[in-house]
Amino acid sequence: MKQYGLLGEKLSHSYSKIIHSFVFQSLHQEATYSLLECKEEELEKYIEQLKQGYYSGFNVTIPYKKTIMQYLDCIDEKAKAIGSVNTVYVKNGKAYGTNTDYDGFLETLKYYKVDVQNKECYILGTGGASLAVNQALQDLGGICHFVSRTPKKNDISYKELETKNIDVLVNTTPVGMFPNVGVSPVSKEIAEKSGKVIDIIFNPLETQLLKDAHSKINGLYMLVMQALKAEEIWQGQSISIPYEAVVAYIDIK
């Protein structure tokens, strides 16, 4: 039986096991998916287990999407350009990395009909997910800016954000994620003045940021789409499972 898993630091909020288990059922695939909470120094061990055949693939989440890259044998051009990996697979005994966060976010923009061409887009956070979001926005013609609490190079600070004209605001930080709900990475004033507000957090579905912005664009669609894309890579086949069917199976209250 094939084994897959999610590598991350804190995974109590994750729906990944439920989603991938549903995919396995739908494909009549005998496989398991585990939430593998781990420390940074354990990543190399998991990649070795992948190469030895104990695991068949991993998803990678906060805070290891950049760190994981040093342990991989091959990284595809898309992930190299983005600068982060969220999906790992094995081929001929070698560990490969790619990025399906990009696909998930791109599909989210299409699903919610968010036009970003020539729009001023501000990305909260500079972690692995922010890099995929940035690439997707740029590929659709967005003018992107990173917002950081410790700005580097061309980043801007949260204080500077207060003076900006924000067409699109995307939160890629964990601020507001379960179990630390009820907090937002920006003030209510910034949320309200922004054109389109997207929070890639999916638990809870309505973060404080989305409440303040009166927006419904959370990270659930991105989560499902990136998971299905990862499964296509692992299984070597096209997968056409409707988003609605996956969400119904997750049964989020």
Q: Which of 89, 111, 85, 108 is nearest to 98 (CA)?
A: 85
Q: Residue 23 is inside which H or E element, if any? A: helix 16-26
C-alpha 252/C-alpha 153 separation (Å) is 40
Annotated active-site residue 10? The verdict is: no
CB 124 within 8 A of CB 147: yes
C-alpha 83/C-alpha 153 separation (Å) is 16
Q: Residue 147 is inside which H or E element, if any? A: strand 143-147
2-8 vs 31-37, strand pairing mode: parallel
Q: Is 28 helix (H, G, I), strand (E, B) or coil?
A: coil
Which of 2, 65, 164, 253 is labelled catalytic? 65
The Cα-based distances of 108 to 74, 112, 136, 225 in angstroms read 28, 6, 10, 8
Amino acid letter, residue 194? S
Helix ranges restricted to H, 59-164: 77-82, 101-111, 128-139, 158-161
C-alpha 251/C-alpha 88 separation (Å) is 27
Catalytic residues: 65
